[in-house]
Structure 1
Amino acid sequence: MLAAALLFCAFSGWLYWTAYSDDDLAYSRARDEALAAGRAHLATLNSIDAAHIPAGLREWRATATGPLSDELRRTEKKSAKALRERGSSARAKVTDAALTSLDDTAGTATLIATLRIETTTRAGAPATDRKRMEAGLERTDDGWKLTSLAPVPVGKEG
């Protein structure tokens, strides 16, 4: 009985180790992490509270790296001025997203997503907009960050 229990424990340990070190499992973890980060970062980059513009811009910068981070830093003062003048707040929610590519070795990915953005003006008139976006992602020491962001045009019907 003891030998059977030891054999079972050894076999279970071996199964756990092979599953934990499986390349497919590591790839799926990277996919899930990139997708979750991309969804969160897209929502952040499309949201702003007019009462807290400096904090919102800091949150925007925290989501990005590479060329997108450079662009956000370069246009920060202009963006802050425009946001103050408009006085609008926006809250974005990613309604659907998927990775279209993932290179786990290079630490890069591409994501497509649809967003619903609710905007409120100074006058309080709410509006809802829907957008489709494509985003580039890169794995950094702080996790996955956005490197690019572009609208995806809606195709013509008929």
Structure 2
Amino acid sequence: MAAAVVLAVAAAGAGAWGGVSWYDASHDDSAAYARARDEALAAGEQAVQNMNTLDHRKLEKGLDSWEDSTTGDLHQQLVDGRTAFIKQIQEAKTVSTAQILSGAVTELDDRAGKAGVMVALRVTVTAPKGKPAVKESRMLGKLTRTSEGWKLSALGQAPVGNTAG
């Protein structure tokens, strides 16, 4: 009988310890930060892929995707330049597709809703004539959290090679 009581007390103690540990882990600031980092990275990678993928046969859909992936000045530049860009792509008749190779969050200020990402990607551009051109590059993006989630607010090429003078 005493052994059963000891086992019951030990089981209750282990259960309580497990519950407290689970609660602490689920309310830990570092876990919330990691979730925000993962959300920013996933959104950043998708947005960079969207911004490097465009098919002249589905131009409106592709440009809508660009605009849906962006916010702020970058978004406004895309909206303002849309008509001219449509003309350029229709004349070129190109299809570009992007594949994400890897990505990383370079900075994250979760409270301010700002993040930075670096994304390595492979872009294949196919023109009406000739072989597809394949290029690998690294892009640096700035993200801003909006009511719809993380969106690109700036995007540019990352420096390549030794930049020291």
Query: TM-score, normalising length from structure 1?
Result: 0.92
What is the TM-score when the length of structure 2 is the normalising length? 0.88
Task: Give the whole-Å Cα distance in 2 for the aligned partners of 1:4 and 1:153.
Answer: 59
Which deviations, in whole Å up to 9, do the C-alpha atoms of 1:25-62 show, x marking residues without a partner?
A: 11111111111111111011000111100000001111
* Percentage of pairs with the same residue: 37
* Partner residue of 1:77 out of 83, 86, 104: 83
Per-residue deviation, 1:150: 1.1
Q: Does 1:45 align with 2:51?
A: yes
The counterpart of 1:101, out of the listed 100, 107, 114, is 107
CA distance change for structure 1 residues 25 and 156 in 2, over 3 Å: closer, same or farther? closer
| Alpha-carbon separation, structure 1, partners of 2:16 and 2:147 | 36
Q: Distance in 2 between matches of 1:27 and 1:17?
A: 16
Matching residue's letter, 1:86: A
Computing the radius of gyration from Cα coordinates, the structure with the larger value is 2
- Dislocated runs of 4+, deviation >6 Å: none
Match in the other structure for 1:123: 129
Query: What is the CA–CA distance in structure 2 between the aligned matches of 1:45 and 1:36, rounded to whole Å?
Result: 14
- Deviation string, structure 1 residues 71-127 (Cα, Å, up to 9, x no partner): 111111111111111000000112122111111111111111222100111125311
Task: Give the partner amino acid of 2:74.
Answer: L
Aligned length: 158
Q: Which runs of structure 2 are paired with 1:1-158 in the superposition (5 Å)?
A: 1-123=7-129, 125-156=131-162
Uncovered stretches (5+) of structure 1, i.e. residues with no partner: none
- Name which of structure 1's ranges 122-131 and 39-48 shifts more when overlaid on structure 2: 122-131
**Which amino acid in structure 2 is aligned with residue 47 of structure 1?**
T
